Structure 1
Amino acid sequence: MAGPSPAVAQVRSAVRPGLVAAEQPVLVACSGGADSLALAAAVAFEAPRAGVPAGAVTVDHGLQPGSADRAERTATLLRGMGLAPVLVTRVDVRGAGGPEAAARAARYAALAAAADEHGARVALGHTLDDQAETVLLGLGRGSGPRSVAGMVEQRVDGGTTWWRPLLQVRRTTTRAACAAQELPVWDDPWNDDPAYTRVRLRTEVLPLLEDVLGGGVAPALARTAALLRADLDALDDLAGTHLARLADEEGLPAVDVAALPVALRTRVLRGWLRAGGVPDLQAVHLTAVDALLVRWSGQGRVDLPGGAGVVRTSGRLVLQGPAPRAARAHDTSAEFEEP
């Protein structure tokens, strides 16, 4: 008896280890596109064999004509795979950053709420190609090494576990898997709209890089992200150790922190400020606080988001404003993920 097609087998193989490793129920975020549909089909096949309950969520953003009907058709398809529960969630897309950012924020909030209600983790269909695009975005924005390190397979954020098992699978493979299973793929017209930066990266920049560099660019970018992420995780752990050693209720000893290499020093400062309740830290804020350590000339308070501020007094950095909490050694890194 013939087995599944190579594409179907590859997607199933990608989800199998994560299902076997954890008993927590799974909700697949499925838009009806090839990536999330291939993921849903693979989870529907593998989850019963792993003894893991598996359902799905499809989010109706209400931004395109017929979106409600399309969401219901996707839900019907997912129920036909044996996934349960299958939820359809309508969101109100509004907020800063343009429609793409607002839609993403609303979608992730809805997925997190569904996961919390059902005690589940959320499976997302991001592929190796999405990872390559994320790395290029991070490079172009200059938003720090964490942005270039891309997405991680599993991450806990705000109490929700986000699981991305397809980060080593190509987009062509997910589409081939859908074709082999005769799954009706919905192609979002936004994915072809050059008004969006990711679309131009996908359709213009990456093909040009492939041509100039002789192919293999997307896998190379994904490998680079993985290597960089390992280095960053090691630095974060080391910085956490220094933060736990140096911080106390009175603040940070300026001379001791200033003696650290810059890669550790900025991580210690970030962890200390976050533990003190400072929100929305940006590079400009860390640079200003760091100047109190390495370019000290008697300058005054550095103002920070949320009404907080840092001063140097009696040889220590002291956080003013929000009441400081005890420093937490594990909170030294800034996650960047933009699927």
Structure 2
Amino acid sequence: MSERYKFVDMNETGPGAVRTAFANQVAYCRAAEAPITARIVAAVATLLDRPETGFARRIADWPGAALADALPLRAAGGLHALHLSGAADDLAPIYADAEDINDAAIVAGVVRRHEAALLPWLDGPPQTNEAGRSANFIAAMLWLADQGLPARFECLEIGSSAGINLMLDRYHYDLGGVQVGPHPGVMAFTPEWQGRHPPQHAIEIASTKGCDVAPVDLTDPAQALRLKAFVWPEHAIRFARIEAAIAAAEARPPDLVRLNAADFVEQELAKPQAAGTTRLLMHSIVWQYVPADQQARITAAMEAAGARATADRPLAWVALEANRTVHGHELVVRHWPGGAAPVMLARAHPHGAWVEWLV
């Protein structure tokens, strides 16, 4: 397995691409200080040498682009779910990061015994809803308000998963000393802030609405377990955040619909927009999972709506997505009228630990 996380073709297919995807995921996890997840992914990769189970054969013969499909994380999610539910106690030493054990043998045995439970985890992409990312959305809104856009926002999110970021108006943020949101809030976020603090403005979240092709109901314990399974075990704080989000969803569920991203954006942009309100499309770590034809439709719909935007009814697009050339995540904003060119506001940790403000 390669120790170095490197740029590879996201759309590559075939057996070689599967092995590359697993090697790259191991290196990425190690670089992201997630050694347990790296061990699990590396152990699954050893199954490719002699794919004796249906689970291993399906991975080895993956017909799509293994990296773009996040195939290693699908498999890792299934194993983590078995561990969290207590169904596979023999995984416990790996998740305890114990030394001098045979990870490959343990995982191979679990796969043989629990194949029926594991196979469905390969059917869909990871659900990695992370509330910490919402700090980037809030910072972008502050910047947009500083550009003269109305500080009242109608937020639309694609790839919402469980809708945790749709509840961002219930959270409190300390962004380099700039305080936003109710105090103490359902959750509180104080990312390590690098660079100047964002502009200080009073902003209002008028509404939030999101979509997902497979939305997660946080109030359903089985679905909540699925979400937790995709949280890397090294990130204990993220489990606490999910529990807080579950409580918030039980009190008032987020407005979340089952729809693909392009259909959702086109439908929402066709609706009337209130005067004095900025309509804002936002998404985080989701664009790579959106099919190319839908990416094109969303871009065309946003640019067409941007051409119709006015100072009293502006449009903005905020994206926190991976730049796989430089191996980092970037907060990029476009807005209409007048600001259609992308502006990179920040580099950021994918789970909200830090923000490097650039403007």
Check whether TM > 0.5: no
Larger strand percent: 2
Which structure: larger Rg? Answer: 1
Larger helix percent: 1
After TM superposition, the score normalised by the length of structure 1 is: 0.30
